[in-house]
Amino acid sequence: MDMKQKALGFTVVFFIITLFCGLWGIGVMRGAYVNEIHTVQNIAGRVIADYPETERVFAQALADMDRNSADVGADILSHYGYDEGERIEENVSYIKCVKNLTMTLAFFLTATLTCIFIILYNVDKQREKQEEEIISVLDECLSGDYAYINDLDRMRRFKNPLFADTLIKLGRSFKLKTERLNEERDNTKTLVTDISHQLKTPVSALKACFTLYAEAEKTTDKEEFHARCKLQMNKIETLIAALIQISRLETRMITLSIEKVFLAEILAGAINTVYHKAQKKQISIETVDFENIRLNLDKKWTIEAIANVLDNAIKYSPEASQITINIQKLYNYVRVLIEDDGIGIPKGEETKIFKRFYRINNETVKNQEGNGVGLYLTRKIIEDEGGTIFVRPAVERGSVFCINLPCQ
């Protein structure tokens, strides 16, 4: 039984007791009044029986509402000890009535006070219990134990459902933040390991080149090792630039600023970025006619993402080949298809190439400059914008990279 039901029960009991007291009081008063009438009847009976002629006088006295002879009567009767004060005090019914009324009132008062005390005590006890429960839930929350979220029986014990709801929300939010923090910490850990691993090889190569350069005696040797050092330096520079970009994206130092942008602006930006590289290999980039849809994207980063795919298409395609860009309008997405005539992606490697620092192990790839960061960055950008990217083999040779960009 909760406090509300208890309070209601007590109120009903008090009401019934009060009703009985009132009825009983009325009964006692009525008894006292009947007693007085009997006394008057007794006096009248005796006097009229002995002196019948006085009946008329009695009738007049009873009809006299102003009680004009009351003073004279009181005077005479006082000689017989029958005055107002003494009589009322001696009246048995009156005395019984006062005694019982006093006892009932005392009982009623004691019961009321006891009930109030019990209610207050219970309220206090319950508040104490609730406070203990809240403290224990908050303690669990602080120590990273969020099991209480799913313990509905325990949550129902909170009298205020709004409060229980807030505690559940608090736990869920803490849990989510903790999970995110742990995930970020793990990501940063592997990122640091990956970065140091990636830097090791070119730095050792640079060190070796410098040693050879310093030890070389002939001018031609010196020139050759100098050139090699420069090459390694350039590689390190590119790698560091890519690593910085990755770290910034991973640690959310770079936040995408989504804006309304036309598809044509994105494609033009990406093609411009790789234009010279394509020209050098006499590769043409063709864009099939498309509807210039307006998208919600970060312009700069989306251009970079698509340029990475185009850059790969140029790198891993033969000279004088062709790259085709097709656009398909889907329900919620715009699909950008970038098709090349290159070396293609071997079966089983289609998802791996989007991983950080992953490069396919073959001679053509080894001979091309790269560090396995481009597609990883592209995937990260596209996914952060709410899109997706995947690759499939082209019909004859080469590959088709499909980029789904959200358009709502």
The residues of the shown chain that bind ligand ADP, judged by CB under 6 A, are: 308, 312-313, 316, 340, 342-345, 353, 358-360, 365, 370-376, 399
Distance between CA atoms of 312 and 335, rounded to whole angstroms? Answer: 19
Chain residue at closest Cβ approach to ligand ADP? 370
The full DSSP string for 227-292 is HHHHHHHHHHHHHHHHHHHHHHHHTT-S----EEEEHHHHHHHHHHHHHHHHHHTT-EEEE-----
**Residue number, 171 or 374, with CB nearest to ligand ADP:** 374
**Residue number, 378 or 404, with CB nearest to ligand ADP:** 378
Site of tokens 């993402």: 305
CB 249, min distance to ligand ADP, A = 14
Asked if 264 and 294 touch (Cβ cutoff 8 Å), the reply is: no
CB 224, min distance to ligand ADP, A = 26
**Residue number, 137 or 353, with CB nearest to ligand ADP:** 353
CB 314, min distance to ligand ADP, A = 8
Q: Which amino acid is at 222?
A: K
Distance between CA atoms of 398 and 344, rounded to whole angstroms? Answer: 4
CB 132, min distance to ligand ADP, A = 57
Give the residue from 377, 371, 236, 384 showing the smallest Cα distance to 296: 384
CB 190, min distance to ligand ADP, A = 17
Q: Which amino acid is at 277?
A: K
**Residue number, 387 or 398, with CB nearest to ligand ADP:** 398
**Residue number, 200 or 355, with CB nearest to ligand ADP:** 355
From residue 217, how far is each of 23, 66, 212, 223, 228 by CA, in Å? 129, 151, 10, 10, 16
CB 271, min distance to ligand ADP, A = 16
Geometric angle at alpha carbon 328, from 384 and 316, rounded to 5°? 70
**Residue number, 171 or 344, with CB nearest to ligand ADP:** 344
